[in-house]
Amino acid sequence: MPIGASSIVGDSGDVKIMQSVSCTDIRELMGQGGQLVDVRTPMEFYQGALPGAVNIPLQAIDRAPDMLDRSKPVLVYCRSGQRSANARLWLHGMGYDTVLDLGTPRLFAQCLQRAQEDDRVRAPVGYASAPL
User: Active site includes 78?
Assistant: yes
DSSP result, 17-82 = EES--BHHHHHHHHHTT-EEEE-S-HHHHHH---TT-EE--GGGGGGHHHHS-TTS-EEEE-SSSH
Instruction: Name the active-site residue from 21, 53, 56, 78.
Output: 78
Cross-strand pairs, 100: 75
Residues known to be catalytic:
78
